[in-house]
Amino acid sequence: MVDHRPRIAIVARFAESTSATRYEAIVTARRLAEGVWAAGGEPLTFLAVPESNWTERLDGIDGVLLPGGADVDPSNYGQAPLTDELYGMDIMQDKVDIELIHHTLSVGLPMLAICRGMQITNVALGGTLTQHMEKPHLHHVAPVTVDSHANELGLSGLTLNASCYHHQAIDKLAEGLTVIARAAEGHIEAVKIASAGWAFGVQWHPEDNYDTEPGQLEIFKRFVREANF
């Protein structure tokens, strides 16, 4: 067991500008960092650098969090863009995420993948995405029931209110992912990820309501607890 707050690496997302910077920025959502902190972790933002030596960069890191963000470039799963709704794509960001995913799963660091994080994990392991849902879940809050592995995910109950903001979803499921929850419309909302360590992905944003929905904080707490060993 570590003798400090478990250090959680959050790969940064790119922003064209922010109110606090004059130029382009790297960002971590404040609510996401606060959710990790509330669960007992130390959130650390990592610059996305391709072909990183992740063994070296993650020395002293206890867990990896893949956050939400812009769309995954369809070229990563062998498709051309099929919709004008795609936004914010950055092939370098995709490359870094994919490299980090493969490293994290191979060494067994605890990993939590959120929204885009779950989608890019599916792509990294050979799956595909629906590029634009018929009915996107934007500002969408609805009950989600976890059908299996709820205890391993840290949940004391099976159903929780999930706050979603996405217009893409998993299409072809990658080998190594096990579906553990679906939305009412049928698309995948949570997966268990095959790994040498604890690894799960959720399509919703647990950071949105971690302070009002107990189940969301339970997920963060279980993630941080796994990172504490």
The rounded average pLDDT for each run of 10 residues, N- to C-terminus, in the chain (229 residues) is 87 90 92 98 97 97 98 98 96 98 98 98 98 97 97 97 98 98 97 97 98 98 95
Predicted confidence at residue 23, as pLDDT, reads 87
pTM: 0.96
Contact 118, 169 (CB under 8 A): no
Contact 54, 101 (CB under 8 A): no
Burial annotation 213-229 (CB, 10 A radius, 16+ → b, else e): bebbbbbbbbbbbbbbe
Phi, psi (deg, nearest 5) at residue 165: -150, 85
Predicted confidence at residue 59, as pLDDT, reads 98
Residue type, 150: A
Using the Cα atoms of residue 86, residue 87, residue 90 and residue 93 in order, give the sign of their dihedral.
Answer: negative
Helix (H, G, I), strand (E, B) or coil at 214: helix
Predicted confidence at residue 137, as pLDDT, reads 97
Residue-range domains of the chain with CATH: 7-226 (3.40.50.880)
Burial of 117 (0-12, 13-18, 19+ CB in 10 A): buried
207 is catalytic: yes
DSSP 77: G
Structure tokens at 59: 């020395």
Predicted confidence at residue 4, as pLDDT, reads 87
Contact 121, 101 (CB under 8 A): yes
- The β-bridge partners of 192 are 178, 200
Contact 181, 144 (CB under 8 A): yes
Of the residues 189, 205, 218, 226, only one is catalytic, namely 205
Instruction: Find, among 95, 94, 111, the residue nearest to 58 by Cα.
Output: 111
Predicted confidence at residue 123, as pLDDT, reads 98
Structure tokens at 155: 């949940």
Predicted confidence at residue 161, as pLDDT, reads 97
Predicted confidence at residue 212, as pLDDT, reads 97
Contact 120, 97 (CB under 8 A): yes
Of the residues 137, 166, 167, 207, only one is catalytic, namely 207
Predicted confidence at residue 20, as pLDDT, reads 87
Of the residues 115, 164, 218, 226, only one is catalytic, namely 115
- The β-bridge partners of 14 are 26
Structure tokens at 204: 């919703």
Structure tokens at 200: 């799960």
DSSP H stretches of helix in the chain: 30-38, 54-57, 91-107, 116-124, 150-153, 214-226
Predicted confidence at residue 218, as pLDDT, reads 98
Predicted confidence at residue 103, as pLDDT, reads 98
205 is catalytic: yes
Cα 190 from Cα 182, distance rounded (Å)? 7
115 is catalytic: yes
